[in-house]
């Protein structure tokens, strides 16, 4: 059995008192939620092969159909993931100045509430701090208000990466019928607590009239994640929407204590399209939650940056069923290969997209608007790869 998360004590001498997080109310409105399957990760350790196979089968269907799953019983309790204090709260309390955002295209550091660049843009009401590997190597890159809690942040990220994500990749390797550590050994980046990925503590402040008018209710444009898995803690404020196979946006329902996991493009490529990197976006919550702050805690797990991803042709699943080129990165990378062109490395692919991040209504010279079956989409091109995103 996998060990449960055992965080450092929150009441060690010298640690500031952190007020208990008050859970906002869930929406009372009748919502047509996305229907996601639940994976109870502890069942992977079951001595009964039938139980494990059942879990693999459920996971296969979930990542093929939805690309999103609810992960439960993964070793972090509901109270534990709420105990990690967000810098937004601490900074407000202590008045510690924020760090400036990084300019490297890796998204490290502080994002203030006015756009995605160092130069002040229009307000968007989204504030976050991203901890990349350099933040874990130098406390100078960490907001001072978070220094007393660093042991907790470190333990939390290490557990998510080296326990939860490793077990999750084991399950996904089993779906591909490959050895258990295949994805962990060959694809996942593993240097330090977050590898080449990052840990984010974000706060979405209620949109004021200006933000609402500019974004028309969208806080973050539709996109796919680039890495291996994204681990998002389910929160009571419903703002995440996913793009279903029926081409409709649907909110993801609050599932207390669950991790909302989505498959990144790296795994879509490795799986030959059997895993789906599903488009998702962040929008204003339902009307009865519009005045609430939305705290978002997420760890973006990354693939090894120097790799150029090919389908895992040795997978018995791929040998038996072939690849699936119905959508997304797999299909577009395949087109490049067929033209004899070099496909981007994982690092190139993620950094070019991060560097192009912008607010939904900011001018985006790389975007062309197209309509598919009457639905507005944004067409972009990065490194010779075309991507199409529902707007």
Burial 43-81 (b: 16+ CB within 10 A, else e): bbeeeeeeebeebbebbbebbbebbbbbbbebbbeeebb
We find the least distance from the C-beta atom of residue 300 to Fe ion, in angstroms, to be: 8
We find the least distance from the C-beta atom of residue 134 to Fe ion, in angstroms, to be: 22
We find the least distance from the C-beta atom of residue 387 to Fe ion, in angstroms, to be: 14
Distance, in Å, from the CA atom of 128 to the CA atom of 92, rounded to the nearest integer, reads 13
* Nearest residue (CB) to Fe ion, 188 versus 221: 221
Residue nearest to Fe ion (CB): 225
* Nearest residue (CB) to Fe ion, 62 versus 142: 62
We find the least distance from the C-beta atom of residue 230 to Fe ion, in angstroms, to be: 6
3-state secondary structure of 65: helix
3-state secondary structure of 71: strand
Do the Cβ atoms of 277 and 224 come closer than 8 Å? Answer: yes
Size of the site for Fe ion (CB under 5 A): 1
* Nearest residue (CB) to Fe ion, 127 versus 225: 225
Under rule CB under 5 A, which residues in 149-188 are in contact with Fe ion?
A: none
| Contact stretch for Fe ion (CB under 5 A) within 49-57, 71-79, 217-225, 318-326 | 217-225
- Per-position DSSP letters for 280-314, written without gaps between them: EEEE---GGGTTS-EEEEEEE--B-TT------TT
Question: Is residue 90 near Fe ion by the rule CB under 5 A?
Answer: no
3-state secondary structure of 317: helix
Tokens of 258: 């669950």
We find the least distance from the C-beta atom of residue 382 to Fe ion, in angstroms, to be: 16
- How many angstroms from the chain centroid is the CA of residue 366? 23
| Contact stretch for Fe ion (CB under 5 A) within 170-178, 182-190, 224-232, 263-271 | 224-232
* Nearest residue (CB) to Fe ion, 252 versus 312: 252
Pick from 225, 304, 332, 351 the residue near Fe ion by CB under 5 A: 225
We find the least distance from the C-beta atom of residue 164 to Fe ion, in angstroms, to be: 18
Site residues, Fe ion (CB under 5 A): 225
């Amino acid at each position: 059995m996998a060990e449960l998360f055992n965080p450092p004590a929150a009441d060690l001498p010298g640690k500031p008192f952190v007020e208990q997080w008050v859970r906002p109310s869930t929406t009372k409105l009748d919502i047509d939620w996305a229907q996601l399957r639940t994976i109870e990760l502890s069942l992977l350790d079951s001595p009964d092969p039938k139980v494990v196979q059942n879990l693999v089968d459920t996971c296969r269907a979930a990542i093929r159909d939805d690309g999103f799953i609810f992960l439960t019983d993964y070793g972090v309790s509901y109270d534990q993931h709420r105990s990690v204090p967000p810098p937004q709260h601490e900074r407000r309390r202590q008045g510690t100045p924020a760090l400036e955002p990084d300019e490297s295209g890796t998204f490290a550091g502080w994002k203030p509430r006015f756009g995605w660049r160092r130069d002040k843009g229009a307000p968007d009401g989204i504030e976050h701090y991203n901890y990349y590997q350099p933040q874990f190597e130098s406390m100078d890159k960490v907001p001072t208000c978070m220094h007393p809690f660093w042991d907790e942040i470190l333990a939390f990220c290490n557990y998510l990466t080296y326990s939860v994500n490793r077990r999750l990749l084991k399950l996904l390797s089993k779906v591909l019928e490959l050895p258990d550590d295949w994805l962990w050994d060959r694809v996942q980046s593993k240097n330090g607590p977050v590898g080449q990925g990052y840990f984010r503590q974000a706060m979405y402040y209620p949109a004021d009239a200006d933000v609402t008018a500019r974004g028309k209710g969208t806080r973050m444009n539709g996109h796919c994640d680039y890495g291996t898995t994204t681990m998002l803690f389910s929160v009571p404020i419903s703002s995440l929407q996913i793009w279903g196979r029926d081409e409709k946006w649907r909110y993801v329902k609050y599932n207390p204590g669950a991790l909302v996991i989505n498959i990144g493009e790296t795994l879509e490529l490795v799986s030959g399209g059997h895993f789906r990197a599903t488009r998702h976006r962040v929008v204003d919550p339902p009307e009865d939650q519009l005045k609430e702050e939305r705290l978002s805690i997420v760890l973006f797990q990354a693939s090894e940056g120097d790799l150029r991803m090919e389908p895992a042709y040795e997978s018995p699943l791929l040998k038996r069923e072939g690849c699936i080129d119905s959508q997304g990165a797999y299909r577009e990378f395949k087109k490049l290969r067929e033209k004899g062109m070099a496909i981007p490395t994982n690092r190139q692919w993620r950094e070019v997209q991060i560097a192009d991040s912008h607010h939904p209504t900011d001018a985006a010279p790389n975007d062309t608007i197209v309509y598919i079956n009457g639905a507005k989409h944004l067409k972009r091109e990065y490194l010779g790869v075309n991507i199409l995103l529902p707007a």
